[in-house]
């Protein structure tokens, strides 16, 4: 850690004395008077930056990686985290090790989203079809999700991150559902970044449950069939939990070229990026590549 020496000469003093101030490059250092004007200005800026950090606001002064433009950073990124099992098998490891490695990749991407100003990240953690996998694997995934939510609660609060979970939660263990509800309630007022975790989810499920909710409103006389339109359907989709329900960019890892029943309605005008990396190998370099690809495109929204 370096120091800079600053000399401030008072404009009118009886003696030719100087005030020397050692400035450490940290935000929480407090100085004692006397302070020169430039040092006071540095303290004001430092304290403002510290407050921004505490409140979790996107850090505008954090430089983006080379080739990325801040004005073109997507607000909402969705990810199909594919390839955990293949990653483990290629290394002769148990499948559980692949999922654990995948959690580390998710932490990295969340940190980068917060750092670069991406507002929402939606990840496909467990699909409706995944219930047909071996029982021990399913139980491990449920326990991994539960442990992860418990362990990360402190960081969610510290970093001003909101957590939302979408999907058919009726199929999840009761203890996990209670934990999810608690985490959602505890973080609901956090505003820096939102992580949406899709569990026991499918795009078809989302559309069906939206239609069922609308049908009940018609049955109860709340609305007429003629009132049903795109806007009404969108209000009933599970992504109504966020200010930005439509992903700007979808990333799928592992080289597979399909969206696998994920966010079918919401992806109507989303840009797609298919990465060759398996999810546990997907890190900062691969994320930058996806964002650069996104920023090179001209989005026409069907026009």
Report the Cα–Cα distance between both ends of the chain, in Å, rounded.
54
Alpha carbon distance 14, 16 (integer Å): 7
CA–CA separation, 84 and 278 (whole Å): 7
C-alpha of 224 from chain center: 38
List b or e across 129-161, with b for residues whose CB sees 16 or more CB atoms inside 10 angstroms: ebeeeeeeeeebbbebbbebbeebbeebeebbb
What are the catalytic residues? 82
């Amino acid at each position: 850690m370096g120091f800079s020496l600053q000399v401030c000469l008072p404009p009118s003093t009886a003696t030719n004395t100087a005030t020397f101030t050692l400035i450490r490059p940290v935000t929480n250092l407090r100085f004692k008077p006397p302070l020169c004007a430039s040092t006071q200005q540095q303290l004001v800026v430092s304290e403002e930056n510290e407050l921004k950090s505490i409140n979790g606001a996107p850090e505008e002064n954090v430089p983006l990686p080379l080739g990325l433009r801040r004005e073109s950073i997507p607000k909402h990124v969705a990810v199909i985290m594919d390839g955990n099992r293949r990653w483990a098998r290629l290394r002769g490891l148990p499948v559980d090790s692949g999922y654990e490695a995948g959690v580390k990749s998710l932490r990295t991407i969340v940190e980068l989203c917060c750092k670069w100003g991406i507002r929402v990240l939606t990840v496909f953690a467990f699909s409706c079809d995944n219930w047909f996998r071996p029982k021990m694997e399913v139980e491990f995934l449920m326990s991994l999700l539960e442990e992860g939510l418990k362990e990360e609660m402190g960081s969610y609060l510290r970093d001003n991150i909101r957590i939302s979970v979408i999907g058919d939660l009726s199929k999840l263990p009761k203890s996990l559902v209670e934990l999810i509800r608690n985490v959602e309630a505890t973080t609901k007022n956090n505003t820096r970044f939102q992580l949406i975790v899709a569990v026991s989810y499918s795009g078809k499920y989302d559309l069906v449950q939206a239609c069922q909710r609308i049908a009940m409103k018609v049955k109860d006389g709340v609305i007429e069939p003629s009132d049903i339109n795109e806007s009404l359907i969108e209000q009933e989709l599970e992504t109504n939990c966020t200010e930005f329900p439509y992903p700007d960019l979808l990333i799928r890892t592992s080289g597979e070229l399909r969206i696998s029943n994920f966010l079918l309605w919401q992806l109507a005008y989303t840009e797609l990026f298919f990465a060759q990396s398996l999810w546990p190998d997907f890190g900062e370099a691969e994320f930058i590549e996806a964002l650069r690809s996104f920023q090179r495109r001209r989005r026409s929204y069907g026009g």
